A and B are shown apart, each in its own frame.
Chain A
């Protein structure tokens, strides 16, 4: 069974610090990787996508992918209280009925003022 693993947290960081969120996945055939942010009671919002090994930066967010280690991470620089949310790692494979988005359980991030 394909799995996506995340530490559930909560991860607590002070305002202005770097928050580091990690994710591992079991299916080596996975090709696309996403980070969603979900505020309590709201729907998931796509914040980052990454497809190739290495880093991808978008504003304060950096996604990192290492396919050999089956590892994806999200760094949030200059963390703000408004970043407090649950961050869902999602992995997409290809091929037949398995080509769907599989979510990790999410890491709850709390940014303290």
Chain B
């Protein structure tokens, strides 16, 4: 079992819906990440939180809204998505942003999102 837990595992939502993806880790990591992965493509970085503060937003559309309520939790709020947003959304964590280079990132199992 992965030490980074993502829920739900699958999500189907309409273009007018509002939904949230959740990610939780209990490894004491202080950096958490959201990645988006389309089929047969590598993961693409969306957001980075370091010590509960947003440090990176890779020009992601505002229909994606991240939130880090505490050091263990990371949410991704979704609103008015488009069909092209359908993808595997991956959460990852590392000890801190610089330590991600020392130990790599631990990924959750992902949420398979389909926008209809």
Contact = CB atoms under 8 A, between A and B. Distances in A.
A32 interface: yes
Given A44-B90, A88-B42, A105-B41, A99 B101 contact: yes
A45 B43 CA distance: 12
Interface string A83-101: 0000010101110010111
B6 to A, nearest CB: 8
Interface residues of A, number: 26
Interface residues of B, number: 25
Given A43-B90, A94-B101, A105 B109 contact: no
Contacts, number: 59
Most buried by B among A31, A41, A49, A100: A100
Interface of A: 31-32, 34, 36, 41-46, 49, 51, 88, 90, 92-94, 97, 99-106
15 contacts: A42-B110, A43-B88, A43-B108, A43-B109, A44-B43, A46-B105, A49-B103, A49-B104, A51-B102, A92-B104, A93-B101, A99-B100, A100-B45, A101-B100, A101-B105
In order of increasing CB-CB distance, the 10 nearest A-B pairs are: A103-B42, A92-B101, A32-B101, A43-B107, A43-B110, A46-B104, A34-B104, A44-B107, A43-B109, A105-B42
